[in-house]
Amino acid sequence: MPTEKEFQIAPIVQESVMHNSKALYNLQSVTASLFGVSAGILGLESYNGFLFYVVFTMLTSVLFYALHVAPTSIASGKGALDTSRYFRGPYELWTGGLFNGLAGFILTWTLFYGLVRA
């Protein structure tokens, strides 16, 4: 945990933090709805459907990391999986998005499952 003095030397700007999490949240919502469409069309049932969602959301997070966070983060000397330049805590990037998109995923999954399965 950085000390309070280090926080004062390099302050965490509230607006930037919010912008980062908002960008991640928007992306997670849209991709979750799209994954629901594909899960419904594929006709996946209970556990398979959720597993599909989890796997592909993690894939989205990895891609997001590789394409957005990594270039500047590695250039500034951080390790290969460190997200501390942009996000507070690793869980926010990797696993936080699961619950954000769950509602949208279930909605579109149910809709397309009912439509396609007939």
Partner 1 sequence: MAQVPVQTIPRDPQLFYWILFPITVVMILSGILRHYVTVLLATPPKKQDQKTMREQRSLVHGVNVRTNFHVLSKSSFNSRREALTTAYESGAYLKDPDRRGQPPPNPMSDPSSMDGMMGMMKNQMAMIIPNTLIMSWINAFFSGYVIMKLPFPLTIKFKSMLQAGVATKDMDPRWMSSISWYFLCIFGLQAVFNFLLGSDNAANQMAQQMGQMNPQQQPFGPGVDPDKQFLAEVENLAVIEHYSVLDDVEKRLLEGITS
| Sites of contact with partner 1 (CB under 8 A) | 5, 8-9, 22, 25-26, 29-30, 32-33, 39-40, 44-47, 49-50, 101, 103-104, 106-111, 113-115, 117-118
Q: How far is the CB of 28 from partner 1 (least distance, A)?
A: 9
- Please report how close the Cβ of residue 104 comes to partner 1 at its closest, in angstroms: 4
Q: Closer CB to partner 1, residue 15 or residue 45? A: 45
Q: Which residue has the tokens 């960008």?
A: 23
Q: Which own/partner pairs from 111-114 qualify as long-range (CB within 8 Å, at least 24 positions apart)?
A: 111/36, 111/40, 112/36, 112/37, 112/39, 112/40, 112/41, 113/39, 113/40, 113/43, 114/40
Residue with Cβ nearer partner 1 (22 or 88): 22
Minimum CB distance to partner 1, residue 86 (Å) = 18
CA gap 109, 118 in Å, rounded: 14
